Amino acid sequence: MISQRMQDAMNQQIQHETFSAYLYFSMAAYFHSKGLDGMAHWMKAQAQEEFGHALRFFNHINERGGRIELYALDQPDHEWNSPRDAFNAALKHEQFITGKINDLAKLADDENDRAAGIMLQWFIEEQVEEEDSVNKVLDLLNIAGEQGPGLLMADRELEQRVPGAILPPGETI
């Protein structure tokens, strides 16, 4: 059985993960409006991953006899000054999510909740990957520049991203 504190915190994390998807869909719409369909594709793939993260928390709460509560989402930003600005915002958001995952891991320790601790270890490793992924895009944009052929080449490179699985093998919606 999951504790009330852990259940409440994980329900809050479902909101954060779902908002992440919503934010990345907003960034995808921004990139489409600028004719940067490769960057839009990258963000849509990221949004799919974030829904998968929300589903992991959803399933964890449910499997442990908890009650899922879905909270309202704020409207995400929808305009950025440049592709680099949007990816910087994505990095800042991923750093925020990393902090929330770390808070959950501490709560799991405080609650002596081994099941949550094991599940959250995956998220700790995932957040390292998430931040690294955005940093690599920022590195690419720093090399490519904010306009012209370099930006178009970066856009085509980001179009090659293959969306990750929404859920790992064996997990279901």
Mean pLDDT per 10-residue interval, the chain, length 173 residues: 97 98 98 97 96 97 98 98 98 98 98 98 96 97 92 93 66 58
Any domain includes 82: yes
**Distance separating alpha carbons of residues 67 and 61, to the nearest angstrom:** 7
Closest CA to 74 of 24, 40, 28, 23: 23
Any domain includes 58: yes
* pTM of the shown model: 0.92
Q: What is the pLDDT of residue 10?
A: 98
Work out the number of other CB atoms within 10 angstroms of the CB of residue 34.
16
Q: What is the pLDDT of residue 168?
A: 56
Work out the number of other CB atoms within 10 angstroms of the CB of residue 113.
19
Q: What is the pLDDT of residue 161?
A: 86
Any domain includes 125: yes
Any domain includes 101: yes
Q: What is the pLDDT of residue 158?
A: 94
Domain of 113 in residue numbering reads as: 4-158
**Distance separating alpha carbons of residues 110 and 80, to the nearest angstrom:** 40
CATH of the domain at 54: 1.20.1260.10
Q: What is the pLDDT of residue 18?
A: 98
Q: What is the pLDDT of residue 147?
A: 86
Any domain includes 50: yes
**Unique residue bearing structure tokens 């990750």:** 164
Any domain includes 170: no
Q: What is the pLDDT of residue 16?
A: 98
Q: What is the pLDDT of residue 146?
A: 86
Please tell me the total count of domains within the chain. Answer: 1
